[in-house]
Chain A
Amino acid sequence: MSEGRYIYCIAECSEKLSLGKIGIDDNDVYTIPCQDISAVVHDCSRKSHKSKGDDIVKMWTMTHECVVESAMERWCGVLPLSFDTIVKAEDGRSLEGVVMDWLEEEYHKLKENIDRVKGKLEYSVKVFSDTKIITERIVKSDEDLPEETAHTYKLKLKDTLRQRIQEETARYYHEFYKDIRSAVNDVKVAKLKGEDEQGQMLMNLSCLCGEGIADKLGEQLEKISSIRGFSVRFIGPKPPYSFVGAQIEVK
């Protein structure tokens, strides 16, 4: 017998219906409605998902995301929940009743969060810089750089260059951020992840875009990628995980 309900997301849906066996471990995913919102769930045990290896964790998290994406295809307002949120039954109450009571109690808070992201999607924008090209550009254009090649001057050149590269990339960062921010509904800045095959990561952003906004963002990114020494990775759309508010506490 199932003792818990795994919640994928809260959707703007007022009826009880099945989404099919699309859940983690092929579980049947369905909605538990309360007023005009529903929890999108599957029946599960009370146990949390414990890892049996990287591949399995990857499969679980991918399935979680796929279910949220399926919900977004059906309903306009969807609030994605973090992985492995399981509701348990208390004091002999039915699980469905517990979920419905919880939705009822938190209705206004959930609705407020849904409205904030309704009709909007998240795009990941990563800007990379090619330090070699930027360095060459500085060397060619900067007259203050020492020309002598003796050892002490080489050291001085290294320090001055490092400083110039930092100044130059900071200038580009602010310029790019301003252009991107003006094109989209909201931006969250994520941690930089160093260098990969595309170069040194300069920006790692999550952008919230309403209808037609992604095209405007694409135009800005086109401009950035046309500047020599910079490239852009533009991925999406995804459920708006970064814009759903951090934590919902219940009294």
Chain B
Amino acid sequence: MKPTRNNKATLSDLLDRVLDKGVVIDADVIISLANVPLIGINLRAALAGMETMVKYGMMREYDMEVKDVRKSKGRHELEA
């Protein structure tokens, strides 16, 4: 059996390979998605690799922001 080149690569295949895999560098000189969640809301919701992205710090800041918003929202609700 001979391998074929996958010319009809789906977005999910590409993201699996290019986002979830490959060397991820954690260094001061690397910006690597510090502030901006890489992908738009609709696509992010569909991503199965979210855990990996959070694990590798790609979305850490976004994740923390979301948690902060939730916390402060919860606090306001308690105070009200």
Q: How long is the Cα–Cα vector from A85 to B30 in the complex, in angstroms?
A: 7
Q: How long is the Cα–Cα vector from A246 to B43 in the complex, in angstroms?
A: 24
Q: Are A247 and B23 in contact (CB under 8 A)?
A: yes
Q: Which residues of A have CB within 8 Å of B48?
A: 191
Q: Are B32 and A84 in contact (CB under 8 A)?
A: yes
Kindly identify, within residues 40 to 67 of chain A, every residue whose CB is under 8 Å from any CB belonging to chain B: 46-54, 57-58, 61-62, 64-65
Q: Are A247 and B26 in contact (CB under 8 A)?
A: yes
**Which listed residue (B2, B22, B33, B56) contacts A48, Cβ 8 A?**
B33
Q: Are B29 and A85 in contact (CB under 8 A)?
A: no
Q: How long is the Cα–Cα vector from A80 to B22 in the complex, in angstroms?
A: 5
Q: Does B77 contact A (CB under 8 A)?
A: no
**Which listed residue (B4, B25, B39) contacts A85, Cβ 8 A?**
B25
**Which listed residue (B1, B20, B29, B30) contacts A225, Cβ 8 A?**
B1
Q: Does A210 contact B (CB under 8 A)?
A: no
Q: How long is the Cα–Cα vector from A247 to B53 in the complex, in angstroms?
A: 12
Q: Does B64 contact A (CB under 8 A)?
A: no
Q: For the complex, count residues of B whose C-beta is within 8 A of A.
A: 39
Q: Are A235 and B3 in contact (CB under 8 A)?
A: yes
Q: Are B31 and A86 in contact (CB under 8 A)?
A: yes
Kindly identify, within residues 15 to 53 of chain B, every residue whose CB is under 8 Å from any CB belonging to chain A: 15-40, 42-43, 48
**Which listed residue (A57, A90, A241) contacts B22, Cβ 8 A?**
A241
Q: Are A61 and B27 in contact (CB under 8 A)?
A: no
Q: Are A85 and B32 in contact (CB under 8 A)?
A: yes
Q: Are B30 and A86 in contact (CB under 8 A)?
A: yes
Q: Which residues of A have CB within 8 Å of B78?
A: none
Q: Given known contacts A84-B38, A235-B5, is B31 in contact with A48 (CB within 8 Å)?
A: yes
Q: How long is the Cα–Cα vector from A235 to B18 in the complex, in angstroms?
A: 16
Can you list 27 contacts pairing A with B, beta carbon distance less than 8 Å? A48-B36, A51-B43, A53-B40, A54-B11, A57-B38, A57-B43, A58-B14, A61-B19, A62-B9, A81-B22, A81-B23, A82-B23, A83-B38, A87-B30, A102-B27, A123-B3, A124-B6, A214-B3, A235-B6, A241-B21, A242-B17, A247-B23, A247-B24, A247-B26, A248-B23, A248-B27, A250-B27
> 7 additional contacts, CB 8 Å, given A54-B43, A84-B38, A248-B27?
A48-B34, A51-B38, A51-B40, A62-B14, A65-B14, A85-B25, A237-B3
